[in-house]
Structure 1
Amino acid sequence: MADQLRNRLVDAILAERPVPADVERAMRTVPRDAFLPGLKLENAYTGQAVTIKDNPGKPLPLSCASVPSVVAMMLDQLDPRAGDDILEIGAGTGYNAALLAEIVDRGSVTTVDIDPDVALHARTRLNATGYEHVTVIERDGLLGAPENTPYDRIIATVGVWDIPATWWDQLKDGGRLVLPLRWRGQTRAVALTRHGDRLVSDGMELCGFVPIIGQNGEKTSPLNADDTIRVHYDEDQDVDPDGLAATLQTRRPALEAPSAQRVGGEEPFDGVWLRATAGDDRVCRLEVTSKALEQELLRRPAIPVRSPVLVDGNSLAYLTITREGADAERSFRLGAAAYGPRAEKLARDLVAHIDAWGSNRLAVPQMVITPADYVSTTGHAISKPESRIALTY
């Protein structure tokens, strides 16, 4: 029964996107249910994430088993090969480490987790499924695992806001790093290859992951007394939460500006956010709860829990989507809703980002990451304590 469910899950993943033969083989071999004891067999083979440890008082769990299709996608990005030495940051259930062990064969897999319960779970389940040779270390993942360096591949299965210098030191030149990188309120699985002091991307995919413990560069501020409207931003951004809150409290109607871009009901438009971050340091994330929407505290954002927003002092403009013409192939129009004294300029700038995305909707930028102290002649970059990120279209 487990074999049938496992193969059905892999078939469903392959129907959505191809993966390399060795990744497919590993996913048909490793029993995901064995890493999720206590879960109903059929639930272990659905396209869902599974929480393995809660994080009391926090909106996200401390650790979870990732969605299987995302696991397959990131293994495809990593491109592990037989004989490779792999470092995984975030042990989770141990399942991903087992998949890697199947793929690298004569190579090695080291997985690190800061939480003792999570590390013990991974160690126990790996032992029970015949992967005793995988090294499990209870440690802050930001430190990596220098005792088994250098690595051909490093993969992070937790959201990373900044790339620590320790990972640079432990990755071979020419090696690959795949991680859910967080910047300007969004998270994308980015595949990078090291070329000396540069990490150069060759792909990125939208994703969501529990953030790594120990990086505090992302901030969250409520914009109303009920904490039902929030702005998420990076520490280098000039955000005035009190001023934004005062602006929204006036309850004035939004200034609305439509773009020239229309989308179909299932057509993704997350590329607007990505495009905007390439050169605009005002991009943040707006989160609006269902309660705030019911109270009509502001115009509905395109995706209430995570919409891109431009913030300038006490003014903001965020992405909206409006139904126009039910019979049209693309019956939804993207636009901007803005509040505050600089509402008109912010709305105009956001519409410009939308239209820039619309000129080539499938375009993916190249990301180049360098150490923070690296002297570069490239243009706009996002500076973090340990790294510098540049995006180019």
Structure 2
Amino acid sequence: MSQGASPLVPPRDKRGTRTGFTTGACAAAAAKAAARVLVRGGALTEVETTLPNRDRVTFALHRCETDGERAVCSVIKDAGDDPDCTHGAELVAEVRLTGDGEVTLAGGQGVGVVTKEGLGLEVGGPAINPVPRRNIIDMVREELPEGRGAQVTIHVPRGEEMAKETLNARLGILGGISILGTSGIVRPYSTAAYKASVVQAIDVARHRGNVDLVLTTGGKSEKYAMEMMPHLPEEAFIQVGDFIGVGVKHGARVKAERIHVVGMMGKLSKMADGKLQTHAAGSDVNMALLAQLARESGASDELVREVEGANTARHVLELCAARGLTDITTRVCRRVVEHLSKHAGPGPQVRAYLVDFNGTLLGQHPAPPRQEEAA
């Protein structure tokens, strides 16, 4: 299969499905081109390369220059319709030939440096993941005569700035972005990629000795969770998005002692219904369940009917608050803990916290210890 990668980055469609290419695939193409220019001479405008998934792809080159001792080639990353902060990034490969038969790989400007353990990468080395590392080396080797080696350095101009939009600093990757990609292809809004990032963040947190994991459903809930638990380090807080099931199961797998789940009424209502994936397109709020919980909280028949006909979980919260019925949030949290504990197994204790859009804690389970017990 052969595909083309445009030299210009086309506009993204927020609802589109156009695939793109990973930073690793772009870096491998640039490195292959630079090695070819050094070995064969001349200049290139494009290069065909093999992705980690074995697809053959032709990349247009943004830069291609050599002075005979080194060559520099670059590719502009097209992430397709994925909302990737590295969309439009220039992946630059600088290659020098050696006589030792080895291909070495280094990170230059804009490529992050690994400063902490737990990522499966060498501390002090570049944040170039194993699959793209192998792909870059393999593509360069294809161009080298027998017995020759190469020194390859990957640069990403503006990489340090782009990294501010990622979790790299929290993971201990400083000074730039990571070179990523297991297949070479970026799929818009890839659930696999997001799940992998959740697993990686949990691994890092546990590797650093954190026995408490705080799983949040988004940026706001994470901010409020940090305010509630200021004694925990930043890496203990992990945005799982819609994939609470992935977070809880992996947290149990790596032997976390406590898993704190923090979110707002909509997401927690879905978890209370036993849903492990809470995306709006994949699961609806069960109004019948919320009506049942409202009744158990002492709601009148009239309020129960209003809850059954509510538009959203937030609407349910407003209806109950207007009647002074606050216990429903605690009951939602209790149901969340019951369901998630089944998936966590006997290891970690699961705790749930329901906050509103202003960060006010509306309900939690288990209940906090009383003052005299905590003293």
How high is the TM-score relative to the length of structure 1?
0.29
Which of the pair has the greater relative contact order for Cα pairs under 8 Å at 6+ separation?
A: 2
Which structure has the larger Rg? Answer: 2
Structure (1/2) with the larger strand percentage: 1
How high is the TM-score relative to the length of structure 2?
0.31
